Amino acid sequence: MELLHSKIIGEGKPLLILHGFLGMSDNWKTLGNQYAKQGFQVHLVDQRNHGKSFHANQFDYDTLASDVLYYMERWQLAQAAIIGHSMGGKTAMQIASSQPQYVEKLLVADIAPKYYPPHHQYIIDALGHLDFDQISSRKEADEVLAQHLSEFGIRQFLLKNLHWVEPGKLGLRFNFEVLRDRMEEIGDSIDATATYSGPSLFLRGDRSEYILPSDYSGIKRHFPNAIIETVNNAGHWLHAENPKQFFEKSTEFLNS
């Protein structure tokens, strides 16, 4: 079994952070440094097919959870607090409900345990227009994406994945082909009978539609001790849009 790539910051109680779809551990570097100053050993983890972690055809939440559990065993982490955003939140829920002994506290950022129909297709379609035989700079890649994707912030988020595959040849860090073909699995719900009774915090963005009041009962059914709170002036990328309030609410929970 292959080991997930990570960046480890600080010393203290283990805290794993799992990024969202098409993201990577580097998205959490600023907050990771802040958690480290609070006395945590922060593991910023790249999930499979993302960041600097390995690429593989298998891609579902059972597999993503197994990757993280193997990572914890290899790093001899008997238990950790876990923060997961979006897809990473689903991975975290899967770990907590299947192997609760590994999870001290669960913090889920802007995702519910329910099924989400595929809704990233417009992003995938835009990425499909990137031809790295023709593109030789970040600026050129942005110009191509801008023809199909008007949101500047989303383009900048995606372009963080650009890297030099070899001298003079750009590429994307994430496994585009597998992620494009596994859209259904990314929206999958957690198992209908899955539960985790440990301390849980669900943070939602006030401008996001990923967690609605109608989802609260489902969250409580799977996570009976869950607290549900709202981060103001934030959409789905709440940790980036209002990092101050996200950090305050998350550290209050992690230190409680």
Catalytic positions, please?
86, 177, 236
For the chain, helix, strand, coil in percent to 5 are 40, 20, 40
- Residue 157: which of 15, 14, 21 has the closest Cα? 21
Sheet with 226-231, side-by-side order of all strands: 6-9, 40-45, 13-18, 80-85, 103-109, 200-205, 226-231
Q: How many CB atoms lie within 10 A of CB 188?
A: 16
Please give the Cα distance from 246 to 53 (Å, whole number).
26
Q: Are 116 and 98 in contact, with CB atoms under 8 Å apart?
A: no
Query: Residue 233 has what DSSP assignment?
Result: T
